[in-house]
Amino acid sequence: MVGTPEVERGTGVPAHVQIERWILGSIAGGEMAVGDRLPGERELAAGLGVSRMTLRQALATLERDGVLVRMPGRAGGAFVADPRVECDLTGLAGFTEQMRRAHLTAEARVLVAETVPAPASVAGALRVATGTPVHQVARVRSAGRSPVALERSFFPALPGFLAEDLSGSLYALLADRYDLEPRTAVEHLDPVVASPAEAAELEVEPGTPLMLIERTAYAAGGGPVEFARDLFRPDRVRISVRSGPGGPQGRTGGR
C-alpha cells in the first residue's frame, strides 16, 4: 500500500468522503488487492491527518458497501474484500453472463447431477405430473476467491442432458443442443438464512442471511424449461432491477 495522502481542508468535500475515495482509488489502481490489510487505525488516522472517529466513519461506509471487511482481535483489522457482483434481473442473463459483464470468470462446482421424481412444487412449475422424472443439477458458483451462490435447478428429462459438461452455461446448453433457449422468466426474491449444509457449501456461518431467488424460465414457445432455487450471499452479490416507461428490457444470457 502506497503512502497515505493527507486529507485536504476547505475543499467542500468531507474528510471521510476523501478517505473513501482514496481507498477506492487505491484498489482500482492495483495498489491494494483483495485480502490486503490496511494499516492500523492509529497509524492510518495519523497519516491522513484525521481523528480516528473520522477514519472509522469512512471504514464503516466501505464495509457497508462490501469494499472492506473488518475482523476483530489482534490479528484482525480492515481488509480489502472480494468485490460484490452486480446481478441484474431485468433481462434473463444467467450467472455466467453476469460474471462476463463484470469482467470476472464464472466457475461452477457440480454437487448433484441426477434424474429424480419431480416434487409437487417442481412439477407445477415445469407443468408435468408429480413424480415425473426430471433432471436436477445443483452447483456452487464462484467468482474470485469465494463462493457466490448455491444453485439448484430442475429441467425436463431431456435426453443426454446429464452427460454434457454441466460446469459451463446451462442456458447455452439448452439453446445450442435442444433449441430451448430461455427467453422469459418469473422470479421471486425472499430473504432466508443458511442451513448448516448450505452454509458449508457457501463458506459462511449457519444462520447467515442469504437471498433466495426462485425462478421459472420459459422458452420462446412459452413452455417451461427450468425451475430453480438459487441462494446468493448478499455480501458478494448485489441484486438490481431496471425499469422504464416501456417496462423492463433485457437480453437473454447464459446461466
Mean pLDDT, rounded, for 54-74: 86
| Domain of residue 41, residue span | 15-80
Mean pLDDT, rounded, for 182-202: 95
**Residue in 163, 157, 161 with CA at minimum distance from that of residue 175:** 161
Distance CA 181, CA 220 (A): 7
7 is a domain residue = no
Distance CA 71, CA 75 (A): 8
Among the three residues 28, 45, 80, which one is the final residue of a domain in this structure?
80
What percent of the chain lies above the pLDDT cut of 70?
87
4 is a domain residue = no
Q: Is the distance from CB of 130 to CB of 227 less than 8 angstroms?
A: no
3-state helix, strand, coil in the chain (%, to 5): 25, 30, 40
Q: Is the distance from CB of 231 to CB of 212 less than 8 angstroms?
A: yes
Is the pLDDT at 63 greater than 90, yes or no? no
Residues 124 and 206 in one domain: yes
10 is a domain residue = no
Give the pLDDT confidence of 13-51 residue by residue, as tens digits. 999 999 999 998 888 888 888 889 999 999 999 999 999
Residues 128 and 21 in one domain: no
**Residue in 19, 11, 12 with CA at minimum distance from that of residue 51:** 19
Residues 182 and 68 in one domain: no
Is the pLDDT at 168 greater than 50, yes or no? yes
Instruction: Provide the Cα torsion 40, 42, 46, 50; round to 10°.
Output: 110
- Going by pLDDT thresholds of 50, 70 and 90, the confidence category of residue 157 is very high
Give the pLDDT confidence of 74-124 residue by residue, as tens digits. 778 898 887 777 777 766 666 666 666 655 667 889 999 999 999 999 999
Instruction: Provide the Cα torsion 171, 173, 177, 182; round to 10°.
Output: 0
Rg of the chain on CA atoms, in Å: 22
CATH, residue 76 = 1.10.10.10
Tell me what the pLDDT averaged over the chain comes to.
87
Is the entire prediction scored with pTM above 0.85? Answer: no
Distance CA 172, CA 153 (A): 15
pLDDT score, position 9? 82
